[in-house]
Chains A and B, each alone.
Chain A
């Protein structure tokens, strides 16, 4: 792992790279840009589309998808992956000298899901610390997209040092009945941007009490856990208690329930020079009383904060073993796992990656990246058989009766088609 100097500022010479991948990623990147992140460190990648052209990021990397004549990735991560593999060299050049790489994407589609793992791999091979910030699709987007997102997330986890997940379904607790779709997606971008900024603070600011980078990576890297984050900010007199209230009411923490279940919690406080020790200890005591997991804490001073106090909380929650606890409503991840075709109900345990020394990993990855990426991707694509996306499924007997819809799936359509099980 690299030695990350926490004193670095996000200036032009920053060793930071922010990758916004796909439409969702670029939207979040735009939000970050409008908040003063320097455009030099931002890279927008997409498989065509107006979002990329309008982006203010300095580096833009349009991926050519000849097969679809500029129609994007067509929702197929394999296509996105192939296109990204072809640009490995350019990606490598971009990542050169970077110390921390953030990958921001929305999984479930072809661009975000396909390109992110490739970028993560290349960036890691270039010697950077790679952190992913990804959103998972809403329940109503259907099981196919969720399955794809799940697959992509797994790939990204393997490639990156850490992945923080934002299940969009949880946003429902944040929004009101009449919130528009546009507004909803803006909120998800907002949350992702908050998360990126919160974590970036950990790397960039001078800490009163610093969190070692290794601890952070440790927490995010555990493959049997899902990492969530929450950022809250408050100002004024009793800002410590206000920020706590906000934090515990945060939808991503399930009203503080997530804290009890998490295995590892990282808390970082950022305040102006007026941040008092009493406030720090009040926040920490309260969080400590809510969770049994070991706490890692950091406190940071930032001039611009004024009298505001921001708390970033990252916690990793182990995947639930089926049978011990039922999935709560809105617990998207367990739904995802349930739906994964062919997955046995009890085999949720994913063994951790074999422990390799960092040099070995680097060697392995750079070797992989060097060996003719084109030929490799072609060989892979030949191996994988895809199904036609435009199959019209007749519902036969149930054509005219009232459809049976369960969580956005039409149960009248044969199960094997919805799950994509091939028949021979």
Chain B
């Protein structure tokens, strides 16, 4: 393993369409630089979950090797991104009575209340991926970020718990371990993406990050600087291609290409009556397709994705997502007009998420599909900062994340 001042952090995302490894280096003044990226096409993954471990292992190896060459380092451990339809998030509240005579809340009380909040009854096959601390309540007073030193009889805390099926999570971990790599931690892909595209201001204001990947759509809702809601919808870009293949009666690979070349999230009036001519390798026309149909099929599918997210957010009580702007990332964010469609369905301003606050390879990395892998590196850097935390504490600089993300 690395010793604590060596600071190579690797994020590995085993996605449905691609495997992506990003190598980050934390310099002496604790600035994160991306020094290498490795990618390969993913073949053994469906809907965000591994369905063919041996193929997947090959793809991961290729991506890691590429990243190692580019960064000129040896990768030994990774932060692994996970997703899948089996992931569920919910909010849980822990309560703790303040025992001391003077009613002052001590560090110990805070630790106890967090422990209580994390004591969750889950089936044995489920594993808690994240238990993210939200705000404290002291005697019912809401919105307290650090209650130590306050007076009160009862301290409560909310945590957002994200859990998933242990065996399915293990599949990805085993694949990585099969390559003689250590897994530092597993991180929910949506959470990682949100770290990449949001600044702390945006988290404070409230934002919704939607990562439209190949197999899944992950979303994370921030409000007042905390994570309010997370969700996974096992529908993504693959579904769009599949719909096109079915609707236009073309092979899947051709549908994929059509989606990239002619896809659009909205059907415009100018598309009416337009046609697309498919040619074979000799340049001879073989098939004529309606561009309107192509875009209608895409548009309906994407619209449905946003509608399902909107429904889920509405059903998750306690919060109206009304004002929060939406940031899109993942490969699906490349679809033309997708932000406009999101605006129409969710009725909030929507834009494509930009990669923020990361150095190195700037232009190459500011692509929506790298958001998750970069976010994993960022998550790793926060973790390391916390682990070697004595230093940063003595500096008195506690990052927002240090406060917000306390691992289980």
Interface contacts beyond A398-B47, A414-B300, A423-B297: sample of 18 additional A-B pairs, CB < 8 Å, sorted by A: A326-B315, A327-B315, A345-B345, A396-B245, A397-B241, A398-B46, A401-B51, A402-B85, A404-B235, A411-B233, A411-B234, A411-B308, A412-B242, A415-B304, A416-B243, A416-B301, A423-B247, A423-B296
Q: Assess A404 versus B234: contact at CB under 8 Å? Given A396-B242, A398-B46.
A: yes
Q: Assess A396 versus B252: contact at CB under 8 Å? Given A338-B307, A416-B247.
A: yes
| A411-B345 Cα distance, complex, nearest whole Å | 18
Is A402's CB under 8 angstroms from B308's CB?
Answer: no
Query: Could you give, for residues 212-243 of chain B, a 1 whenever the CB lies within 8 Å of some chain A CB and a 0 otherwise?
Result: 00000000000000000000011100110111
Q: Which of A329, A411, A414 is within 8 Å of B315, CB to CB?
A: A329
| A398-B48 Cα distance, complex, nearest whole Å | 12
Is A415's CB under 8 angstroms from B85's CB?
Answer: no
- Residue numbers in B under 8 Å from A417 (CB-CB): 246
Q: Which 3 A-B pairs have the closest CB atoms?
A: A326-B314, A414-B243, A415-B300
Is A282 close to B, CB under 8 A? no
Query: Could you give, for residues 235-274 of chain B, a 1 whenever the CB lies within 8 Å of some chain A CB and a 0 otherwise?
Result: 1001101110111000010000000000000000000000
| A424-B275 Cα distance, complex, nearest whole Å | 12
- Taking the nearest CB of chain A, how far is it from the CB of B56, in angstroms? 14
CB-CB contacts below 8 Å: A365-424 with B? 393-398, 401-402, 404, 406, 411-412, 414-417, 419, 421, 423-424
Is A402's CB under 8 angstroms from B307's CB?
Answer: no
- Residue numbers in B under 8 Å from A415 (CB-CB): 243, 297, 300-301, 303-304
Is A323 close to B, CB under 8 A? yes
CB-CB contacts below 8 Å: B277-301 with A? 290, 292-293, 296-297, 300-301
CB-CB contacts below 8 Å: A318-354 with B? 323, 326-327, 329, 338, 345
Is A402's CB under 8 angstroms from B47's CB?
Answer: yes
In the complex, the chain A residue whose C-beta lies closest to that of B292 is A424
- Residue numbers in A under 8 Å from B202 (CB-CB): none
- Residue numbers in B under 8 Å from A402 (CB-CB): 47, 85
- Residue numbers in A under 8 Å from B293 (CB-CB): 423-424
- Residue numbers in A under 8 Å from B315 (CB-CB): 326-327, 329
Tell which of A395, A411, A414 has the most Cβ of chain B within 10 Å: A414
Q: Which of A338, A404, A406, A414 is within 8 Å of B246, CB to CB?
A: A414
Summarize B's interface: helix, strand, loop or mixed.
helix
CB-CB contacts below 8 Å: B355-387 with A? none
- Residue numbers in A under 8 Å from B241 (CB-CB): 397
Is B322 close to A, CB under 8 A? yes
Is B167 close to A, CB under 8 A? no
| A277-B292 Cα distance, complex, nearest whole Å | 69
| A397-B237 Cα distance, complex, nearest whole Å | 12
Tell which of A323, A398, A417 has the most Cβ of chain B within 10 Å: A398
Q: Which of B245, B290, B311 is within 8 Å of A424, CB to CB?
A: B290
- Taking the nearest CB of chain A, how far is it from the CB of B90, in angstroms? 14
- Taking the nearest CB of chain A, how far is it from the CB of B255, in angstroms? 9
Tell which of B47, B51, B293 has the most Cβ of chain A within 10 Å: B47
Tell which of B46, B242, B347 has the most Cβ of chain A within 10 Å: B242
Q: Assess A414 versus B292: contact at CB under 8 Å? Given A323-B322, A401-B46.
A: no
- Taking the nearest CB of chain B, how far is it from the CB of A209, in angstroms? 41
- Taking the nearest CB of chain B, how far is it from the CB of A359, in angstroms? 45
Is A411's CB under 8 angstroms from B239's CB?
Answer: yes
Q: List, sorted by A's number, 19 A–B pairs whose CB atoms are closer than 8 Å.
A: A323-B322, A327-B315, A338-B307, A394-B246, A396-B246, A398-B47, A398-B238, A398-B239, A401-B51, A402-B47, A404-B235, A412-B242, A414-B300, A415-B300, A415-B301, A416-B301, A421-B300, A423-B297, A424-B292
In the complex, the chain A residue whose C-beta lies closest to that of B248 is A423
Kindly state the interface size class of chain B when it binds its partner: 20 to 34
- Residue numbers in B under 8 Å from A345 (CB-CB): 345, 347
- Residue numbers in B under 8 Å from A406 (CB-CB): 308
- Taking the nearest CB of chain A, how far is it from the CB of B231, in angstroms? 12
Q: Which of B252, B297, B320 is within 8 Å of A416, CB to CB?
A: B297
| A401-B215 Cα distance, complex, nearest whole Å | 11
| A393-B245 Cα distance, complex, nearest whole Å | 12
| A417-B296 Cα distance, complex, nearest whole Å | 12
Is A414's CB under 8 angstroms from B242's CB?
Answer: yes
| A327-B313 Cα distance, complex, nearest whole Å | 11
- Residue numbers in B under 8 Å from A396 (CB-CB): 242, 245-246, 252
- Taking the nearest CB of chain B, how far is it from the CB of A387, in angstroms? 14
- Residue numbers in A under 8 Å from B252 (CB-CB): 396-397
In the complex, the chain B residue whose C-beta lies closest to that of A326 is B314
Is B307's CB under 8 angstroms from A419's CB?
Answer: no
| A406-B347 Cα distance, complex, nearest whole Å | 23
- Taking the nearest CB of chain B, how far is it from the CB of A328, in angstroms? 9
Is B300's CB under 8 angstroms from A416's CB?
Answer: yes
Query: Could you give, for residues 257-281 of chain A, a 1 whenever the CB lies within 8 Å of some chain B CB and a 0 otherwise?
Result: 0000000000000000000000000
Is A327's CB under 8 angstroms from B314's CB?
Answer: yes
| A416-B245 Cα distance, complex, nearest whole Å | 13
- Taking the nearest CB of chain A, how far is it from the CB of B276, in angstroms? 14
- Taking the nearest CB of chain A, how far is it from the CB of B400, in angstroms? 29
Query: Could you give, for residues 329-358 of chain B, a 1 whenever the CB lies within 8 Å of some chain A CB and a 0 otherwise?
Result: 000000000000000010100000000000
- Residue numbers in A under 8 Å from B297 (CB-CB): 414-416, 423
| A397-B238 Cα distance, complex, nearest whole Å | 8
In the complex, the chain B residue whose C-beta lies closest to that of A396 is B242
- Residue numbers in A under 8 Å from B292 (CB-CB): 424
- Taking the nearest CB of chain A, how far is it from the CB of B8, in angstroms? 35
- Residue numbers in B under 8 Å from A327 (CB-CB): 314-315
Q: Assess A414 versus B247: contact at CB under 8 Å? Given A327-B314, A404-B85.
A: yes
| A195-B246 Cα distance, complex, nearest whole Å | 47
- Taking the nearest CB of chain A, how far is it from the CB of B191, in angstroms? 21
- Residue numbers in A under 8 Å from B320 (CB-CB): 326
| A406-B47 Cα distance, complex, nearest whole Å | 15
